[in-house]
Each structure stands twice: as structure tokens, then as C-alpha cells.
Structure 1
């Protein structure tokens, strides 16, 4: 009798092990990275998005966040996505893709939030471009609307004061900063602190959120207003990997990111307030350019950057400019129109 019970228990255990192994073998695991280290404030919505996807997928799909620049250097991550070396990038600035995507800088100039871009035709246009340029399925972007600002150690009172300013840049800012007479310097984000500390650069541009994650308030005196452009982090999956994901799980990923486009942006507005307090405590000051100078600054930013994009990307540039304008939204799409 005891022998029979023992054999039954062993048999059941083997069945459970086999079922567990089968489920594990069937589970889709997406190996993912981000441009910035895990604790960085720009990544704020990323773990929430991952948690929501993993929970709703009920074991059939799991996103595994490997890390950030320590896994792949930020500017190399787009090449890793294209080659399929990694499955997914959860948070990746558009401008970092310029080497493969001449249109990349356009996203920062959008007049729309991510959810509005799904109504204007821009989402579909970017989806086409991502497939063509970087072999990726574009899912959406977890942040909208928050501007980029100049942070510097030189007191700026007019546009002419930018002349000769040594400033750290990414490709998005280069055309207009050159037009202002500044001297752009390209370097990875982790190097900005030391460069500011040693005077290698006198300033940098960064979104209004995230500079304190690098501790840059310790080596920076001023933030210049107004800001320009807007945050433009892409979430994408290698296209070959995407095609192997069942349709219902593809739909799940697209559904969850649409929810977190709202959530990530709303949380970002709250983080902006926190950053203001941290910068103020560190002794930083906000400088507001006079109205005429501010208008000149903003106009130069958009005019020069669009000119560069339209020249570099004649196929998609004009289409993008049209689709990311307020005028591209169908009437009645949102109550604030």
C-alpha cells in the first residue's frame, strides 16, 4: 500500500515537473535594455510598464530588463536592436538612432503628445520608418511634452551670449546650437559630470527631468528658459523577434504601452517639481531670457533643426513635419481641441 502511494506521488511529481518545463519552454522572454542606468529618473515608467506586461501575460511572455549602458553603450544599442543581439529597447532617445535613421531628430520637434500622434497618422509613419531603418517594431514612447533645456555655468541674458559656449550635445541639438555660435561637443551622458567639473564643457542640454540622476546640479549654476523640443524616448522590439510573438501578445504589448504613455508623462510632471527643489537646494538659478530673445531662441531651434532634417531625409521629412503638427489632428479627437 505504502509502495503504491509512493509511486503515485512520484508520478504526480514527474507530471508537475514536465508541465513546468513545458510552460517554461513555451514562455517568450524578451531581453531588454535602456539607454540610461536602471535608477535614472528618465526610466521612471519602465519598471511599471514591465510589471504590467509580465502580469497580464500570465507567464506566456516576460520582459527581462538586463540594464543600461553597462550592457551596451548607448549609441551602440540601436545597432544591437537591428542585428537582434537584444530583443527590446524600453527607453531609447530617437536622436541616438541618427546613424541609421536620418529622420530621427524630427521626433523631438513634434507638437503632439504620444497619444495624439496615434490620431494624426504619425505613429503609423514612424512604424514604417522603424521597420525600414532599424529592423524594429515601434511600440510607442513613455514620455511626452517635457522640454529640453540648456544647463550651463555661463550667465545667459541674450541669444548672443551663446557664442563660443562649449556645450555637450546629442545630434538633435547640433544644428541650432551651431547657428547660435556655440561649440557643440559630443560625449556619452556619464561623462558630462567630469567634463563640467573640469571645464571641458561649460554646459549641456538635457530634458527638464533627469539631470539630477547624474548629480549634475553639483557642477552646474544655471538652467535657461525657455525649453525647446520635447522628450522622445522610443520603445521598440527587434522586428524578427516581434514576428514570432503570438498576435494576442503583440496586442497586449501595444495596449499596455498606450496606457503607460499617459501614466509616464503624468508622473514626469511630478518629477519636474522634485527636480526644481533639488536644483534650488544645490544653489542653481533659473534664467528666463527676455521675450524677444526667447522668441529668437525658440525660432532658431525649430527652423534650423527642421532645415537639417528636410535636407537629410527628403523621403520622410515633409511627411513627418505634417503628421506631427497640431493641424494633423482630426477635429474632435480630444476634448482640448
Structure 2
């Protein structure tokens, strides 16, 4: 991503001492910015931060209207709208883009990341640049990488204290093949479903459980229809903020620079907010009566073992260069600790 926008960002740095509106003609416009996130979640708070930054940097000429909770449709519908120039911007789980860019499936490999810093090294480094280039070819501009965080398992039937307890549970998963394969490998009956439909599906018993980061579980009030949570941390989700390439190319360079700078600043804000919110969300869920189970290291190893064939199969399908760069980025962080 840095390579794609290097020249553009150089202009941002040179002009950074002056407000954008004083540097060039910024046209009045409204940007629609969608997500599947719930109001109050770190994801949607990041969207509001972006809106605030854009309005400030443009002296009010550019307004950003935030549409959370799938108000403009689910994530995959948003992708089509972006490619067609119907919607300006959206932010979503990066793994959902694997249908367009298969290498994105690598980010959802079970137990790939141990810390958010490892994910930052991947997304802010050469792997993130490659993903941005591949998205550009699909009519999507990757402006910055955000995070959803580590995913946890919830259900309404029983505590999941061992991997064997997952057997037979109907678990809603992200609409991505690797999630289906991962949870089927764990013994669940995996059901793909857009996030805005999850609460009702849990409430009606269409599915027994779901998996999401703790802040998402809390802000979507899924604990109202789920009694048990297990801190599996089975997948860490980076997110990608996207802009419609057809609409991006209609913007003046100064407008592009303004939006890029705001997206970068919003990403830093959103990531930190998400990380600060995670531990607090778990405590709040406990306080609201949810039964929270922490797995032993031995049990986590059993989860890894059961999902290893899935991880190996998806890694084998990916570009070997990307796999090597990803592993190198993670190893550098671990070696530095």
C-alpha cells in the first residue's frame, strides 16, 4: 500500500504545514461510509473518527455519513457497490476478500497470530502492500488497515471447556470457506451468515452459537441470547478500509491525499481503541452474567492440532512468496521479544 501511494503521500508531507482547504480547491461532497459493525463498537467509532478528521481537514467541505449495522447491505454487497461506483467507502474483515484475492485467506489461518503486533507487522509491511496492489486490480482502493481483533466462541447450550464440547453445535461463521472448514474440523456444524442477521438467528435458535471478538459481542448485545463464552482466540482479524476505485479516480489529487491522510490517522486511532476495549468487554460480559471459560495451554494445543490440516491446506493454495513474507514478518516480531 505504501508503494502504491508513495508519491501521493510525499505530497501530503510537503504540504502538511497548511490546512488542506488552503492548499487547493476541495470540492463539496458527501461520502457514504458503510460497515456491518454495531454502533458503539471500536469499528464504528473508527468510522466516526474518519468522518471527524475529513470534515476538519476539508474545512467542512467534505462530509462523511456513516452507515453502520449493515444499513446499506452486508459486506459482500458493499464490495459490489464499491466496485460499481455506487458506494464510496466501507471497512470490513480482510478475510472476507478472499473470494476476490485468494491470498487474503492466509489472514484467517487458525492460530496464525499470537499478538496484535504480529498482525501489524504483516499488514503494515510488504504483505499489506501486495494485498493493496491485488485489490487495486479488482476495482478497490485499500486506504488503511484496521482491526476487529481476536475472535472468541459463544453458544447458548453448554460451556465449551474442551475441544470435544464443540461437537454438534451449530455455529454461525463468517461467509468465508476457511471458517466453514475450521469449525467443521472442530466438530461443529458451521453455518455461514452475514453479521447483521446473527442476533435474530441466535434468538430463534437457528444457530446455537457464533464467534466474534469480545467488543463486537458486547456492542451487538449477543450476550442477551448467548450464555457461554470461551476465550479461544482462534483467529485474529485485520480489517481493510476500502474506497471505490471508479470514484477514487474522479477525485482531485488533493482530495485523494486528504482522504488518505485521514484514513491513516483513523486506523491508528481505531486499532488502539479496539485493543483497549477487548479486556474491558470481557469483564463487562462477565458482569452481565455470561459464563466465561479460559482454556488451558494444553487445550489450546488440542484446538491447534485439530485445525492444523485446515491451516496447511489453505497455506498450500496461497502464493508461496506471500506465505514466506508473512512468516518472516511474524518471526521478526517474535524474535524481537
- TM-score tier, shorter chain, comes to 0.7 to 0.9
Q: TM-score, normalised by structure 2?
A: 0.79
Aligned counterpart for 2:172 among listed residues 168, 189, 192: 168
Distance 1:277 1:252, change over 3 A: same
Change (3 A) 1:108 1:56: farther
Cross-structure match for 1:246: 252
Alpha-carbon distance in structure 1 between the residues aligned to 2:80 and 2:46: 24
Partner of 1:51: 52
The whole-number CA distance in structure 2 between the counterparts of 1:226 and 1:330 is 22
Q: What are the superposed Cα offsets for residues 141-177 of structure 1, whole Å, 9 maximum, x if unpaired?
A: 2226x30111123222221222212101112422211
Quickly say closer, same or farther: Cα 1:329–1:226, change in 2 above 3 A: closer
Q: Give the SS at the match of 2:215.
A: coil
1:168 and 1:201 in contact (8 A); partners too? yes
Residues 197 and 35 of structure 1, relative CA distance in 2, 3 Å threshold: closer
User: Relative to structure 1, is the Cα distance of residues 246 and 329 closer, same or farther in structure 2, using a 3 angstrom cutoff?
Assistant: farther
Which residue matches 2:195? Answer: 189
Which of 131, 136, 143 is the aligned partner of 2:136? 131
Instruction: Tell me if structure 1 keeps the 8 A contact 2:95–2:237.
Output: no
**Equivalence map 1:1-337=2 (5 Å):** 26-59=27-60, 61-89=62-90, 91-109=91-109, 111=113, 112=117, 115-117=120-122, 120-133=125-138, 135-143=139-147, 146-153=149-156, 154-170=158-174, 171=176, 172-301=178-307, 304-308=310-314, 310-311=316-317, 314=318, 316=319, 318-325=320-327, 327-328=328-329
Bigger CA radius of gyration: 1
Change (3 A) 1:225 1:36: closer
State the distance in 2 between where 1:156 and 1:254 align: 43
Tell which deviates more after alignment, 45-54 or 194-203: 194-203
Describe the shift of the 1:299–1:59 C-alpha distance in structure 2 as closer, same or farther (beyond 3 A): farther
Structure 1 segments (4+ residues) deviating >6 Å: none
The 8 Å contact of residues 82 and 136 in structure 1, kept in 2 or not, is answered as yes
Q: Which secondary structure does the structure 1 equivalent of 2:231 belong to?
A: strand
CA RMSD in angstroms, aligned pairs only: 2.9
Distance 1:235 1:207 in 2: 18
Higher alpha-carbon deviation: 77-86 or 157-166 = 157-166
SS of the residue corresponding to residue 220 of structure 1 reads: coil
Residues 246, 310 of structure 1: alpha-carbon distance in 2 compared, 3 angstrom cutoff: farther
Shift of 1:334: 12
User: What runs of 5+ residues in structure 1 fail to find an aligned partner?
Assistant: 1-22
Distance 1:148 1:282 in 2: 19
Distance change (3 Å), C-alpha of 1:225 and 1:31: closer
The SS at the match of 1:64 is: strand
Shift of the 195–30 alpha-carbon distance from structure 1 to 2, 3 Å rule, reads closer
SS in 2 for 1:85: coil
Query: 3-state SS of the aligned residue for 2:232?
Result: strand
TM-score, normalising length: structure 1: 0.79
SS of corresponding position for 1:142: strand
Q: Secondary structure at the match of 2:171?
A: strand
Structure 1 Cα separation of the partners of residues 84 and 312 of structure 2: 30
Maintained 8 Å contact 1:142/1:257: no
CA distance, structure 1, for counterparts of residue 243 and residue 118 of structure 2: 21
Aligned length: 305
Q: Which moved more, 1:195-204 or 1:124-133?
A: 195-204
**Aligned in 2, Cα 1:307/1:272: closer, same or farther, shift over 3 Å?**
same
Is contact 1:31–1:66 with CA below 8 Å preserved after alignment?
yes
CA positional deviation for 1:114: 6.2
